[in-house]
Amino acid sequence: MGAVDEAGIRITSRYAPDASVVFHRGNCLDLLRTLPARAARLIVTSPPYNLGKAYERRRPLDTYLAEQARVIAECDRVLADGGSICWQVGNHVAGGEVFPLDILLYPLFKRHGLALRNRIVWHFEHGLHCARRFSGRHETILWFTRPDYVFRLDPVRVPQKYPGKRHYKGPRAGQFSCHPLGKNPGDVWVIPNVKHNHVEKTLHPCQFPVELVERLVLALTDRGDLVLDPYMGVGSTAVAAVRHDRRTVGAETDPHYVRIARTRVRAAARGRLRTRPLGRPIYTPSARHAVARRPEAPTITGAPG
């Protein structure tokens, strides 16, 4: 069992009901099978996309989907009443063809009687520049729930576009028409992905932004709830959970990532981990900056004649 540090965090490698943080170094199925049924209020993760990244082994797509089916079945077993599963995925690409993983994975959740509440589009500005198709600039989050589920909108409201707008007729004429706490953030989330100059960047090549997970944690859980990430990487889900007084459990096969996750979670518990603030507007460079100005004589290659 792990020791409790000065921030009140006890990180252990085995599940215990009173543990603040559980980090299992190994296969996520081995961890999931040790968890009691109905233990987790929120399961949020971004599994490998079967692209052959450094942290995964590329295999036939059918094999990958069969592996995902086993993990999803265990996640359904440990999902609490009133709980949610948020599966964040992009595309599998083979031979230049795109296979949307959210479409392929949808029936694997439906076979367990889960209901899809939203297909959230996560839009970001940076990524691979494609030459033979449009560059991908979004991924999706499939949000599934039990028939009854927790949803707290107020903690994740965003600023209104027209906060001073008023009703112009009817019994409420002259009164403000917007919700005073802000508006529903909708199902298209514009959040920067973690690239080289991002404040949260570690050595992980496909890192989750903490603010994306924070929105899910705040909306779909209460203080003290258990948040599970079967593919935790460097612990962004755990950071979001600990920061908002939730317990967290995660699995990761790479020992380097586990060590980074431990460091980040301890820093977050002490209030010392730098992350992009939740809700910060997207940066737009000023026209005064050289990088935002078009060169006087641009060189354009590959343009049609």
Residue 305's pLDDT is 47
- Residue 86's DSSP bridge partners are 44, 143
pTM of the entire predicted model: 0.89
User: Average per-residue pLDDT in the chain?
Assistant: 90
Average pLDDT over residues 29-41: 97
| Contact residues for 239 (Cβ-Cβ < 8 A; gap 6+) | 210, 213, 264, 265, 268, 273, 275
The CB-based long-range contact list for 63-69 (8 Å cut-off, 24+ gap) reads 64/92, 65/104, 65/105, 65/108, 68/105, 68/108, 69/108
- Gap between the Cα atoms of 252 and 261, Å rounded: 10
Pairing of strands 247-252, 21-25: parallel
**Range of lowest pLDDT (20-29, 137-146, 234-243, 293-302):** 293-302
40-44, 93-97, 178-182, range with greatest mean pLDDT = 40-44
C-alpha distances out from residue 206 to 193, 200, 253, 276, Å: 9, 12, 15, 16
Tell me what pLDDT residue 56 has: 65
Q: What is the CA radius of gyration of the chain?
A: 21
Angle between the 236-243 and 255-269 helix axes, to the nearest 10 degrees?
20
- Of 234, 239, 247, nearest to 212 by C-alpha is 239
Inform me whether the pLDDT recorded for 34 exceeds 50: yes
Distance CA 19, CA 6 (A): 15
In angstroms, the CA 177 to CA 224 distance is 35
pLDDT in tens, 57-106: 778 899 999 999 999 999 999 999 999 999 999 999 888 899 999 999 99
Q: What is the pLDDT of residue 291?
A: 74
In which band, very low, low, confident or very high, does the pLDDT at 7 lie, cut at 50, 70 and 90?
Answer: low
Could you tell me the pLDDT band of residue 11, with boundaries at 50, 70 and 90? Answer: very high
Report yes or no: 174 and 108 within 8 Å, Cβ to Cβ. Answer: no
Pairing of strands 40-45, 226-229: parallel
pLDDT tens, residue by residue, 137-172: 999 999 999 999 999 999 999 999 888 888 888 898
> Looking at 162-171, 280-289, 290-299, which range is the least confident one?
290-299
Q: What average pLDDT does the segment 277-281 reach?
A: 85
**H-type helices in 49-186, by residue range?**
61-78, 101-110
Token pair for 228? 């599970």
Residues linked to residue 252 through DSSP beta bridges, in sequence order: 25
Name beta bridge partners: 226. Answer: 247
11-277: CATH number: 3.40.50.150
The two beta strands, 79-89 and 91-94, are unpaired
> Quick check: 233 pLDDT over 80?
yes
Q: What distance in Å separates the CA atoms of residue 142 and residue 135, rounded to the nearest whole number? A: 22
pLDDT at 52: 61
**Type and span of the H or E element at 117:** strand 115-123
Alpha carbon distances (Å) from 31 to 11, 35, 60: 15, 7, 25
Per domain, the residue ranges of the chain are 11-277
Phi-psi region for residue 28, left (φ > 0), alpha (ψ -120 to 50) or beta? Answer: alpha
| Whether the predicted pLDDT of 107 surpasses 50 | yes
Q: Span 274-302, mean pLDDT?
A: 77
**What is the predicted pLDDT for the residue at 61?**
92
Confidence bin at 6 (pLDDT 50/70/90)? very low
d(CA 218, CA 76): 21
* Percentage of the chain lying above the pLDDT 90 cut: 65
At residue 206, the pLDDT reads 84
Task: Let me know: does 296 contact 228? Beta carbons within 8 Å.
Answer: no
